[in-house]
């Protein structure tokens, strides 16, 4: 896959240093911007060292100045070649798609040639496509109340302000009235995201589309959009068409960290906890199997949280019901040192068995070099009907994610 020299691909837990032969485009200016961003975010996505950045268990993409850094998942010990990066890049895009964290369509596929596009380009393209669709059907207009000093009476006169403003100008009237236009919160959010992208994008095609769209938002106010705006939004049958565009705009606006000194060190980071992503991906593959006609699985529940003791809760990753028996699956995105999990993990699975009345529990890891071990009962006379299993699932079919992963898990771990 041919990547731009301004796209750097690294793996989770990898270190990115200034001035290396492997990544010559990563300069001190990029490090300085990431250093500031890392401290502002309390090093959530990476830790800052001496002229180096060490990534954590978060994957995704960061744009800083003129470069894009893709942080890819990886749990095996294969050599970090370009083909390995291609494999995990495609895997990450597909995981994000399946988990509904990115929307891809035929237009995106044709325009960007998915395998050679950066993950950030996919998000930008998805957002622009959604905004173009909104505009195609017309920007939503609504009534709003404004105060104005006019030469004629319109609406109602605000007498206190009228006296203050027009003691000399007898020909004017300070009034409050309603107008019908597109200057509302939905359009203000889309405009804010477009203006952010205008400062970040170096893709000429995207720039053309942004400039064309900005012309359509003439008369819409530029506002400081905060997280509370999104919490207060409500959709109806007339505004439902905005929902996907607003979801992507939220991601762009809230993940954007501007350089407050007005320099060129703006940072946009769209990152995902790989543990959570793996858990959700497994859940959706099992849920897809359950939804098929004549399903082999009775029920699949994600993140079943229940009260345990006072303010403490238990939260099983995935609960699966097969032939009237419940099974707890706890996903772990990491490579085990050997095929023996920690004592605390095993104890947690025992508690899950008891609490959820499940006969069987599974610690599920991505496959590296180890094989799944057989079910083993807990060694207690009163609880030997409960068993636990350490399992490893290969999420790939050759170099692509296995489309039948749910069936693979059923056949190897849940059947009979």
Which among 207, 1, 14, 21 has a CA at the least distance from the CA of 119?
1
Question: CA–CA distance from 55 to each of 271, 317, 394 (Å)?
Answer: 11, 25, 24
pLDDT at 381: 67
> For the chain, what is the largest distance between any 2 Cα atoms, rounded to a whole number of angstroms?
96
CB neighbours of 245 closer than 8 A, spacing ≥ 6? 127, 130, 131, 133, 134, 190
pLDDT at 173: 78
CA distance 237 to 234: 10
CA distance 225 to 380: 57
Number of H helices, E strands in the chain: 12, 19
pLDDT at 179: 73
β partners of residue 9: 70
pLDDT at 158: 67
Q: Model confidence over 16-38: pLDDT tens digits?
A: 999 898 899 999 999 999 999 99
Please, what is the end-to-end C-alpha distance for the chain in angstroms? 43
pTM: 0.85
Crossing angle of helices 204-216 and 119-136, rounded to 10°: 30
Instruction: List the pLDDT tens digit at each of the 416 positions of the chain.
Output: 445 678 999 999 999 999 898 899 999 999 999 999 999 999 999 999 999 999 999 999 999 988 999 999 988 777 788 889 999 999 999 999 999 988 776 445 444 455 557 889 889 999 999 999 999 999 998 877 767 776 677 767 766 776 777 777 777 877 776 777 898 999 999 999 999 999 888 788 899 999 999 999 998 999 999 999 999 999 999 999 999 999 999 999 999 988 655 556 789 999 999 999 999 999 999 999 999 978 889 999 997 677 777 778 888 899 999 998 999 999 999 888 777 888 999 999 999 998 888 989 999 999 877 677 677 767 666 677 788 888 999 999 988 999 999 999 999 999 86
pLDDT at 254: 93
| Whether the Cβ atoms of residue 246 and residue 190 lie closer than 8 Å to each other | yes
Q: Which CATH architecture has domain 292-414?
A: 3-Layer(aba) Sandwich (3.40)
Q: What share of the chain is helix, strand, coil (3-state, %, to 5)?
A: 40, 25, 35
Instruction: Name the residue ranges covered by the structural domains of the chain.
Output: 7-138+185-273, 142-181, 292-414
pLDDT at 165: 75
**Residue 291 φ/ψ region, left for φ over 0, alpha for ψ in the -120 to 50 degree band, beta for the rest:** alpha
pLDDT at 107: 47
Q: Model confidence over 208-261: pLDDT tens digits?
A: 999 999 999 998 999 999 999 999 999 999 999 999 999 999 999 999 988 655
Sequence length of the chain is 416
């Amino acid at each position: 896959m041919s990547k731009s020299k301004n796209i750097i691909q690294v793996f989770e837990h990898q270190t990115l240093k200034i001035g290396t032969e492997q990544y010559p485009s990563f300069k001190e200016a990029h490090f300085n911007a990431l250093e500031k961003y890392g401290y502002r975010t309390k090093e959530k996505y990476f830790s800052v060292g001496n002229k180096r950045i060490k990534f954590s268990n978060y994957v995704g993409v960061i744009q800083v100045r003129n470069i894009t850094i893709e942080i890819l998942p990886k749990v095996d010990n294969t050599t970090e070649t370009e083909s390995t990066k291609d494999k995990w890049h495609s895997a990450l895009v597909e995981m994000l798609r399946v988990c509904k964290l990115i929307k891809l369509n035929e237009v995106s596929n044709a325009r960007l040639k998915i395998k050679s596009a950066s993950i950030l380009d996919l998000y930008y393209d998805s957002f622009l496509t959604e905004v173009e669709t909104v505009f195609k059907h017309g920007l939503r207009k609504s009534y709003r109340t404004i105060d104005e000093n006019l030469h004629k009476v319109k609406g109602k006169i605000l007498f206190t302000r009228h006296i203050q403003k027009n003691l000399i100008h007898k020909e004017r009237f300070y009034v409050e009235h309603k107008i019908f236009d597109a200057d509302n919160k939905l359009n203000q959010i889309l405009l804010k995201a477009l203006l952010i992208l205008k400062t970040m994008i170096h893709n000429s095609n995207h720039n053309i589309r942004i400039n064309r769209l900005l012309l359509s938002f003439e008369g819409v106010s530029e506002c400081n959009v905060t997280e509370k705006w999104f919490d207060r939004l409500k959709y109806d049958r007339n505004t439902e068409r905005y929902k996907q565009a607003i979801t992507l705009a939220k991601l762009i606006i809230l993940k954007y960290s501007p350089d407050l000194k007005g320099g060129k060190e703006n940072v946009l980071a769209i990152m995902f906890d790989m543990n959570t992503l793996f858990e959700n991906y497994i859940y959706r593959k099992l849920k897809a199997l359950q939804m098929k006609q004549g399903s082999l699985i009775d029920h699949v529940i994600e993140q079943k949280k229940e009260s345990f003791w006072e303010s403490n809760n238990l939260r099983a990753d995935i609960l699966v019901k097969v032939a009237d028996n419940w099974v707890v699956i706890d996903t772990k995105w990491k490579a085990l040192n050997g095929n023996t999990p920690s004592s605390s993990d095993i104890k947690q699975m025992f508690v899950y068995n008891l609490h959820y009345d499940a006969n069987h529990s599974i610690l599920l890891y991505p496959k590296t070099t180890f094989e799944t071990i057989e079910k083993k009962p807990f060694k207690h006379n009163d609880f030997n009907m409960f068993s636990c299993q350490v399992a490893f699932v290969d999420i790939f079919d050759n170099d692509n994610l296995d489309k039948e992963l749910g069936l693979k898990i059923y056949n190897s771990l849940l059947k009979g």
